[in-house]
Amino acid sequence: MTDPVPVAVPRKGRPLEAVLERIAAVSADDRLDRLADSVSNTLRYEKAVTKGSVDADAGPYDRLAEYSDPTTTAEPEFTLMRDDRNGKPRRIVFDAATVDLGDVTVKLVGREEPFRALRTHEFALGFDSADLVLEEVVGIRDAGLGNISDINDRIDPVDTDVRVVTGLGDTVYHTLMGREDRRAPNTTFDRAYLDDYEGPLCISPRYERLVTAVLGTDALNGVEFVYPEADEEEEAAIARVGLGVYLTVTGSTAREHGLSVGEHLFPSETVLMRNAAETDDSVSSVLRALEHEAADSEIRV
């Protein structure tokens, strides 16, 4: 029997849910729908426990034993790790699951940083946030970047062998927004607005390189990055500064701060990636399986 093809996936959060939902969508196996629901519900509960909004009925080791059945390959496995929150609480996260995609079997393996696992050739295939690709390897140019499909053109092949294959469509946008009272009539906060703007632009410190890649250096002439103060909500900070970039879900809370939601600059989306230097036939088999099974879906392998 051929060993399953290992594929790196996030251990928790929206990107993992997107991976599980997409794999369930491209398979005729009803078990994968149940797998996606089971893992997602378990991790949402564990997140609530970690944040203190839910009191667990049992300790972490008892819960871990309840969730995981390592003797049954068809069932998911979980593991225990230290969360990066204050106090470093223990948190149960996804570890592994084996799934069948037609003629090929895939083992989803949880990694804290799947993208970096591909960069070091630990895996040939993996899923992670497109944000990490922009933060680490996408080149900074005069012109900005707006689409997932443009990422590979910005990757220096000397820097990494990893390439983006497709996005999964779990899109939350990095969005330009500003104070409603500073927006002229019949105008919007968009890239054209930035071309003529000089002054502070409020962003999260971790997104400085990402925002620079997305907007381009030309648009940032005369612009100074500023950051939220300690314990200040990002949207409140943008309202204080007047203009900023924020990872927007609905925009409803932005409006509560008197902000006008402008142009969606770049999708924060989970992407399927491959290490192009890894040319084993098993990698091609997985990609062919996804392409075949997703003929009527949005996968663009």
pLDDT band at 286 (very low <50, low <70, confident <90, very high): confident
Q: What is the pLDDT of residue 72?
A: 73
Within 10 A of 97 (CB to CB), how many other CB atoms are there? 24
pTM, to two decimals = 0.88
Tens-place pLDDT, residues 244-283: 999 987 667 888 888 999 999 999 999 999 999 988 888 8
Tens-place pLDDT, residues 27-43: 767 788 888 999 999 99
Least confident interval from 57-71, 136-150, 197-211, 259-273? 57-71
Q: What is the pLDDT of residue 231?
A: 87
Tens-place pLDDT, residues 287-299: 877 765 444 444 4
More confident residue, 301 or 202: 202
Mean pLDDT calculated for residue range 220-234: 94
Mean pLDDT calculated for residue range 86-112: 86
Q: What is the pLDDT of residue 150?
A: 92
First to last CA, the chain: 27
| Encoded tokens for 227 | 């950051």
